[in-house]
Structure 1
Amino acid sequence: MQETITMAAGWIQTGTGLGNDIKGLIFDVAIPVLCGIFVLVVGWKTKAPGPTIMAVIFAAIVWGLSANMATLKNKTSEDIVQYQGGPAASRSDQ
């Protein structure tokens, strides 16, 4: 009987932890900050209410979608399963 040993288990765990931390920083800090900067730059450059309001709406959409990635992922998975006919459907070539 041969035993499998993962030599880099500590490094893999460290990399996974860093990946989760970086993902959290991107979704919780970077995207909201960039949305705010986008609105400020558009407002500063155009000095008009119309484009600034549209920038706020666009930034809110981007921020909202990024904040709800888990919900969107689950919804997409449900749609794919439903499109394929559900878990009990049989596949046929017609």
Structure 2
Amino acid sequence: MHDTITLAAGWIQTGTGLGNDIKGLIFDVAIPVLCGLFVVVVGWKTKAPGPTILAVILAAVVWGLTANMATLKNKTTEDIVQYQGGPNAARSDQ
């Protein structure tokens, strides 16, 4: 008998690890830094409180939504299952 060997297993595992690290870096560092930079640039360029406050609100919404991606994913999955009639619903075409 021949054993099946996946030659790319090491590369796949390395790629997955790098992907998880990069994802964490983006969500935990890059997005908050870019949100803060956005607020500073808008405040600097406009020198007015109205647009700066709006920039703070928009940055908070973006940051909050990205921080709660797991919750949003679970909620979306629940909505889809409920829309389809639940996990035990019988599918019938009319």
TM-score bucket (shorter structure): over 0.9
Pairing of 1:22-33 with structure 2 (within 5 A): 22-33=22-33
Q: Deviations over 1:6-37 (max 9, x none)?
A: 11111110000000000000000000000000
Q: Partner residue of 1:52? A: 52
Instruction: Give the ranges of 4+ consecutive aligned residues of structure 1 lying more than 4 Å apart after TM superposition.
Output: none
Q: Specify every segment of 5 or more residues in structure 2 that has no aligned partner in the other structure, as ranges.
A: none
Displacement after TM superposition at 1:58 (Å):
0.3
Q: How many residues align?
A: 94
CA RMSD, aligned part only? 0.9
The TM-score with structure 2 as length reference comes to 0.96
Give 3-state SS (helix, strand or coil) of 1:90's partner.
coil
User: Do structure 1's residue 85 and structure 2's residue 91 form an aligned pair?
Assistant: no
3-state SS of 2:87 partner: coil
Percent identity between the two aligned chains: 87
Where does the alignment leave 5 or more consecutive residues of structure 1 unmatched? none
Report the alpha carbon displacement of residue 93 of structure 1 after superposing the two structures with TM: 1.0
Establish whether residue 75 from structure 1 lines up as the match of residue 37 from structure 2: no
Structure 1: how far apart are the matches of 2:44 and 2:23? 30
Structure 2: distance between partners of 1:4 and 1:57: 55
| Deviations 1:48-70, CA, capped at 9 Å, x for gaps | 00100000000000000000001
Q: Scaled by the length of structure 1, what TM-score is found?
A: 0.96
Residues of 2 paired with 1:82 and 1:19: CA distance?
32
Distance in 2 between the 1:78 and 1:3 partners?
A: 41
1:4 Cα shift? 2.2
